[in-house]
Structure 1
Amino acid sequence: MSNIKTITNATRVITKRPFRVSIEGNIGSGKSTCIKYFDKYPNVEKHSEPIEEWRSVSGHNLLGLLYSDMSQWTFAFQHYVHLSRLKIQTSPPSSPNITVKMFERSVHSSRHCFVENSKQQEHLQEAEYEVLAQWFDYTEKNLDVSLDLIVYLRTTPTTVWERMLQRGRAEESEVPLEYLQQVHESYEKWLSSADVGCEVLTIDADRALALVADDLQRYSYKILGGNHTN
């Protein structure tokens, strides 16, 4: 089943820009597949997670380094992830016909899920955590990074762990089930809090892809902005 949760944010700055949709969920929840579903809509600009960019930062594979030693590399990785997501969220649309901008995860999930979890698991020193937190706070106060809708592909950790092993991405080969459980809990905590600031559409992504696609079709009007007037 799917459900919609609405949270208002009176401080959100309204500007003329595309309707922003962030596709959120655990590793292996089907975010990339979800984005591809909207290939048939020419008014939607789609951005998958910039994994190849993270694999080649002036010759450094930050994603590989992160999974090899989270305590050493989380700060550098999250700092760069924030930059890459910020560029995606704030860049102008690729053409005047774009009315919806859709991307895989956001600066918000980086801050409220992954940075918070890294602090909890002690992969960040207190000073490193404060730098990342203040970097996000400054961004949110001085740039329009607001979201209009979050599509949350909700999964159980065991399901996404099995999917992750099946797809065989090299950097993920050593990711334990425990880490996926931590990410799941971080998402659940964030998306049930008042810090979300926008509407959340939750889809049960443990199910077969065809059933998830049915939900995407059912809620396509909402996902594509509905009566959005920005």
Structure 2
Amino acid sequence: MLAAAGFSGKLLVRCVRTLPPYAVSPSALCGVAYYRGKKTPANSGTLIPSRAASGAHYATGEARQGKLVRNGEDKKAVICIEGNIASGKTTCLEYFSKTSNIEVLTEPVSKWRNVRGHNPLGLMYQDPERWGLTLQTYVQLSMLDRHLSTITRPLHTKQAPKNTSRRNTTVVSAHISASWPTVALEHTAKTSAASQEARMHCACSAPVRMMERSIFSAKYIFVENLYRSGKMPEVDFAVLSEWFDWITTNISIPVDLIVYLQTSPQTCHERLKQRSREEEKVIPLEYLESIHQLHEDWLIKKSSSPLPAPVLVIPADQNLQEMLHQYKENRDKILTASSL
């Protein structure tokens, strides 16, 4: 599976020091959070510690002794942007790609739509019981490849094959509701080779990697939802779980911070209707409500699956301008994730 994932770089077993558990002030429960000793406003993002705060290690981010690690990759801080469908993840990535020296990796949706001419994403939405295992096996593989990737591109120079998702082309658009105006970032294809090379070097040398979702949410949210809803047979769930457990046990997948864009299912549903992506036309409100509850159980209540890192919660029901203000307010918290 490693070879199939493009895991061609050198592997080595390393011992990595254990980081101290992240702590947060109890006053965060009263609307005032403290981040690295500094008070933060109640309307800004709220930081939630993982179970490490009670003395246990993070699920994957710390106790990495004996695991396979890509040479040098664990030095880069990794931030995962999590949230429901249409919660605003692409817009968040666009903001930080334009304002910060970071490496951005979007979900490989174009791959899920075209596997040697087949569209497992579309098939899964049409018949999840038949195609759920097929899609989620490939999602798990492609997300592992994202985590281990050393080939980096800035978001605004990412090229995509023909007939793929608009989010992966050189014109990056987020079509959401009327209160969330269309965002279109257009970049000319006539950029000089020297300029492109400079941007590539910038991304490769960036101290922070920001990812859209993660291998953890693929398993803890979307696979779990298929299983709980009765659309994935128990044997399929068991096979995917065995793969996931082997991966996270034997391969180091460090995550330094999870940014949770907490959005109501109703808001997500309205945005979905506005952006009109073909596969998403069949998504009902009930599906978004299930995905929302799984995010809440995992990232807020911490009652379902292990957290790989601390969680920064950003309310994301607001319009575009208010969200850009939120990202600016929380920028330092997010980009200093490696110092936690």
Q: TM-score, normalised by structure 1?
A: 0.93
| Structure 1 match to 2:49 | 6
| Structure 2 match to 1:137 | 245
**Is 1:203 matched up with 2:314?**
yes
The structure with more radius of gyration: 2
* Structure of greater relative contact order (alpha carbons < 8 Å, 6+ residues apart): 1
2:74–2:254: 8 Å Cα contact kept in structure 1? Answer: no
1:42 to partner: Cα distance: 5.6
Match of 2:150 among 80, 87, 92: 92
Match of 1:60 among 93, 118, 124: 118
What is the alpha-carbon distance in structure 2 between the residues aligned to residue 93 and residue 69 of structure 1?
34
Structure 1's consecutive aligned runs of 4 or more residues displaced over 4 angstroms after TM superposition are none
1:224 to partner: Cα distance: 1.3
SS in 1 for 2:211: strand
As a proportion of its length, which structure holds more helix? 1
What is the alpha-carbon distance in structure 1 between the residues aligned to residue 330 and residue 293 of structure 2?
25
Q: Which amino acid aligns with 1:163?
A: R
| Structure 1 match to 2:328 | 217
SS in 2 for 1:173: helix
Report matched runs for 1:4-153 at 5 Å.
Answer: 4-7=47-50, 8=52, 10=57, 12=62, 13=64, 16-41=74-99, 43-92=101-150, 94=152, 95=201, 96-153=204-261
| Structure 1 match to 2:10 | none
Q: Which amino acid aligns with 2:311?
A: V
- For structure 2, the residue ranges without an aligned partner over 5 or more in a row are 1-42, 66-72, 153-200
CA shift in 2, pair 1:160/1:226, >3 Å: closer
1:29–1:154: 8 Å Cα contact kept in structure 2? Answer: yes
Q: Which amino acid aligns with 1:26?
A: N
- For structure 1, the residue ranges without an aligned partner over 5 or more in a row are none
Work out the number of aligned pairs and report it.
229
Q: TM-score, normalised by structure 2?
A: 0.64
CA shift in 2, pair 1:65/1:145, >3 Å: same
CA shift in 2, pair 1:206/1:127, >3 Å: same
